[in-house]
Amino acid sequence: MPKDACCRAAALCGKTLERPFFTDSEVHLMQVAVCSALGIDSAWALESFELTPYKFNLLESLALRMDDPDVAVCKVLRRGAPTGVREPIPASGVWPPCSGKWGDEVAEACDLFWCTSNHISAEQEPAKVRALVQKEVDLGYLVHIAGGMSAVQQRFPDGSLAIGKLGLVTCAGKEDRLIGDSRASGASPAARFLERAEVPSLFLFTAALNRFAAWRGVAVDPKEWVLFSVDIKGAHKSIRTAAEDVGFSVFSLEGEFYAYVVNHFGAAWSAYWWSRLSALLLRTIHFLVRHRHLGAVYVDDFLFLLPRGAFAMLVVLVLAILQILAVPLSWRKLALGSELTYLGWQLSLHSGFWASLPESKQAKVLRELAWWRLHPRRVPRKKLSQLLGFLLWATQVRLALRAFLAPLFIKLNKPGSRLQCLSLGQLEELAMILGDGLVVQSAAARSDIQKGWRLRAVGGKTVDCVINARRLLQQPRTITGKIWVRFSAWTPCVDLDPVSLSSLHTLQRVLCTNSFSWAGERVAEDAAADAWAGSALSGIGGWFRALESNKLFWFHLEIEQGQLPDLWLWPEKMQAAICALELLAQLALVLARAKVDGNAQLHCARLRQYGDNMPVVAACSKGMSTALPLCFALMALAFAALELQVALELSHVAGERNEEADLLSRLNHPEAKPWPLVMRAKFPEANRVRITLADVLDDLVPPHLSCLVRGRVNEYLQKRLDNPVFHSRLYVNEEEQWLGIKAEKARKPFPLLLFFPVDNSRSSESSKKGLARLRRILDQLALEQDAGWIPTRWAQFYTVIASSDWRPFVTLEELLGVQCGRRSGGVDFKGSALRDQLPGSPAVVLDPQWLLEAMAQVVGCPRVMQKGELSRELLHKLWDKEKFHGQEATLRAFLEHFSLLVPVAGSTLSSPSHWLVPSLLPKRRSGPAQSDQVAQAALFFDFHGALRQLLPSLLPRLFGRLQLKHETLRGKMLCQETLVFDIAK
């Protein structure tokens, strides 16, 4: 190796190469030295093979010395790579096995076709395609077959010929590329592989760095590392195709026929064989580079993380290995430094392990997501498959994002439904062509039933076996002579459901941030969760150790079957969905840790938690599942991780070593045993974290609904603030207001609850200033009153809200006990006026945010959103937070006053057991014009600080008026308007 190699490598930082790093003479000297070290003949080891540059003999010797599991790949590629069309390609043993079949719809696609035309992209640019084809011929990749179709058929006999379609890919800033589409000819679908090749993602670097940090015992510092990427030039075409399989790579252009003698871009076997070869090259580098480093290869792009103290030496070793094996490198794309572009992502190590999309690619991703959200109907499956491929690339930086692809994969792989109204003769024909598995074996002659359709129902009765199906078909019960039959078939188009659209919106919202941590998170360990389930009752529980105090905390949550959202498609028995419940336990554990440790402590942390359910661990490791209801639980867990900006690493632990979490989950088990003394001492009641079902399921509410409703509320309030009519209400005497509604009072008492639109918690400087501003405004308005009477609600402000102790509300009796006196302007306060002003009101609200958050728990509960019904038990769980303890009766009285909760008829008025939530009751559609607004019927308000700056005195009125039917009554309500202050001025 040259003496100045390390100096030359250090000079590569931030630069590109125009020529190979090592010269040909330097490479030859190193090749001879390696052969001598291995004890093999250099002439045999450095032998070249036709149509491929690699030194397969030398690579095979290295693989044998490493005891590599895939030594056979060198022997296969020496003579040419088979396509897998004639016979299945044996597995290498490196990747997971697979059957090679992807569903019933592939069975017909295994036939080979002779395409007579090319793709539109190639037909529109014949000159470019002709030039690219000639270039491929000059390089030896393509061979021209003279003599027309007869010569092609003579060279490739029956069963060994497939003519595909050429395509042209153009991209700004890149060279035009020719693609040979072998899927159109049926060759790619006919190729059979006994294993499924896998490629890594950026988030996998996190696990590797965490293992390295655990081994060192010190957190990983991004400043200690350097990024190094290597791109292979013409990777697929550097592998020769087996001579007997060249006929499966034939294409035509302007009446002339060409055949690829190498693996071309666009064939299934091309990607498979290069994946095997690149994986062997990476393992060889790992074996020979005996220094700490991280490396991965995605198709033909290698990425390495090298320690800064030795990066120059390691770069030299990697390049030397690749050049010794004659791997064709794209020297202009070689990159080295603290930041580079890899797979379209901009990676940086300056202030952490961060990744971001270039502005052009981010705009493309967001544009695609926005287009699909606006066009959810009649989506071609082919385009949906292309979208998923694009999103798999866009979500590789965060594993949690993969969970939101599950609804799209379900739509892609779920057959559509076909209805046929068949006569007696057509039913008899269907019974004859119906085969095993209820699959139609051949197309019907008397009806439109096609081969491959699967029978699902006959006359509204679901069929589950061929015997029952034929009995219903041969002995139908019909009066008109016809009967409806339902099939499942692979329709060319699908419709995206609301769940899919919500997933697209979540991806769009997350990708707008365009800043992701792809490695190096701080690890928080010592946490476990578990779940149990019966027929209609289940429980989840777990424990964790706090980051700062190092104390053990625990939680338990009881879940009934009726409390879970119907959208999840829960089975009849909860035990059948134990995996989904296990994921909810892990979600509750994450939320409990966030409550104790705080979001700031958990920011960009990797939470390592344990569970004893292996399918759940596998689903979390994969990041996605299409099984119901597991996929919804995984989406809820992923959404919480994205909101808290944490990464979850779930590890498996045997059940016998997870007894503590199991006991914590079984506190509500019918046969639960008393805790042993050791458990009571280890998990005291004081360290219990209160988790409600609303906490666990709140994240399932689509965030775009919250944004939509909040925007409408803001617009409504802004119009009111800009209207001087409402401001004039400030100068109307309270007694005159009362006379205006006196007649209406006899029919229905009005809830005259009082609201002060300020934050009276005194928790910040702004809240203190807000109180002072409001008091100055009241003083000024009182002095301007001609009658000299200060309105009653202003008097209550002076006497109560100025107290030093913060309280969310005060009772009416407490207000009546306030001594009356004189205030500025020489105005008297009278207690009798207060009694008249508050007939039947339970209290005066001093903190509107407290009441609004209580209502938010009700409105945001998925179970309530489905039917608009609320039970006492569910309400008790929704208000389980500390700020609502002991105030449930008062809160119910408040919300009933505003008609936000309406007791169900038949319940005891003094102590009702069920309520209706009017704002969430299902709405009747009045016509086709409202069909696009169905999803907006479920209103969800996020009151956690977002509306604190608005005027809460108007918001409850907005809710209450949802129940008013007459415009006259609405006009009378205007006289009750509470104070409207622009305290920002």
Q: What is the residue whose two structure tokens read 């390609």?
A: 89
Q: How far apart are CA 53 and CA 329, in angstroms?
A: 11
Residues 270/208, Cβ–Cβ less than 8 Å = no
User: Rounded mean pLDDT of 795-807?
Assistant: 47
Q: Is 926 a residue whose pLDDT tops 70?
A: no
The three-class DSSP label of residue 541 is strand
Confidence class for position 984, pLDDT limits 50, 70, 90? very low
Share of the chain above pLDDT 70, in %: 74
Q: How far apart are CA 318 and CA 300, in angstroms?
A: 15
Least confident piece of the model among 162-166, 207-211, 450-454, 835-839? 835-839
Q: What is the pLDDT of residue 848?
A: 56
β-sheet bridge partners, residue 302: 230, 297
Residues 400/647, Cβ–Cβ less than 8 Å = yes
Confidence class for position 941, pLDDT limits 50, 70, 90? very low
Confidence class for position 585, pLDDT limits 50, 70, 90? very high
Confidence class for position 691, pLDDT limits 50, 70, 90? confident
Q: How far apart are CA 812 and CA 270, in angstroms?
A: 80
| More confident site: 473 or 228 | 228
What confidence tens digit (pLDDT) does each residue in 339-370 have? Answer: 999 988 899 988 788 888 888 888 888 888 88
Q: What is the pLDDT of residue 324?
A: 95
What confidence tens digit (pLDDT) does each residue in 406-444 have? Answer: 999 999 988 888 888 998 888 888 988 998 888 898 888
What confidence tens digit (pLDDT) does each residue in 769-800 have? Answer: 555 555 555 455 444 444 344 444 444 444 44
Confidence class for position 969, pLDDT limits 50, 70, 90? very low
Least confident piece of the model among 532-541, 570-579, 930-939? 930-939
* The Cα angle at residue 176 between residues 171 and 181, in degrees rounded to 5: 100
- DSSP H or E segment with residue 365: helix 359-374
Task: Choose among 274, 252, 270, 253: nearest CA to 261.
Answer: 270
Q: Is 937 a residue whose pLDDT tops 80?
A: no
What confidence tens digit (pLDDT) does each residue in 260-299 have? Answer: 999 998 899 999 999 999 999 999 999 999 888 889 998 8
Q: What is the pLDDT of residue 608?
A: 83
User: Which two structure tokens, joined as six digits, stand for 781?
Assistant: 């308005």
| More confident site: 103 or 309 | 309
Residues 70/276, Cβ–Cβ less than 8 Å = yes
* The Cα angle at residue 82 between residues 76 and 83, in degrees rounded to 5: 150
Q: How far apart are CA 413 and CA 626, in angstroms?
A: 10
Q: What is the pLDDT of residue 137?
A: 93
What sign results for the dihedral spanned by CA atoms 185, 190, 196, 197? negative
Q: What is the pLDDT of residue 101?
A: 38
Q: What is the pLDDT of residue 835?
A: 37
User: Which two structure tokens, joined as six digits, stand for 783?
Assistant: 């002095």
Average pLDDT value over all residues in the chain: 76
User: Rounded mean pLDDT of 552-562?
Assistant: 89
Confidence class for position 695, pLDDT limits 50, 70, 90? confident
Q: Is 898 a residue whose pLDDT tops 90?
A: no
What confidence tens digit (pLDDT) does each residue in 89-145 have? Answer: 999 988 888 754 333 333 344 678 899 899 999 998 999 999 999 999 999 999 999
Residues whose CB falls within 8 Å of the CB of residue 952, separated by 6 or more in sequence, listed in order: 755, 757, 848, 849, 851, 852
Q: Is 678 a residue whose pLDDT tops 90?
A: no
| More confident site: 650 or 218 | 650
H helices then E strands: how many in the chain?
A: 39, 32
Q: What is the pLDDT of residue 664?
A: 93
Q: What is the pLDDT of residue 99?
A: 53
Confidence class for position 590, pLDDT limits 50, 70, 90? very high
Q: Is 51 exposed, middle or buried (0-12, 13-18, 19+ CB in 10 A)?
A: middle
Q: Is 61 a residue whose pLDDT tops 80?
A: yes
Q: What is the pLDDT of residue 849?
A: 60
User: Rounded mean pLDDT of 155-166?
Assistant: 89
What confidence tens digit (pLDDT) does each residue in 164-184 have? Answer: 999 998 877 778 889 999 988
What confidence tens digit (pLDDT) does each residue in 204-253 have? Answer: 777 777 777 777 777 778 888 999 999 999 899 999 999 999 999 999 99
Q: Which long-range contacts (CB under 8 A, 24 or more apart) does 799-804 make?
A: 800/844, 800/846, 801/756, 801/760, 801/771, 801/846, 802/771, 802/775
Provide the whole-model pTM: 0.66
Q: Is 446 a residue whose pLDDT tops 80?
A: yes
What confidence tens digit (pLDDT) does each residue in 11-32 have? Answer: 888 888 889 999 999 999 999 9
Confidence class for position 726, pLDDT limits 50, 70, 90? very low
Cis peptide upstream of residue 629 (ω within 30 degrees of 0): yes
Confidence class for position 44, pLDDT limits 50, 70, 90? very high
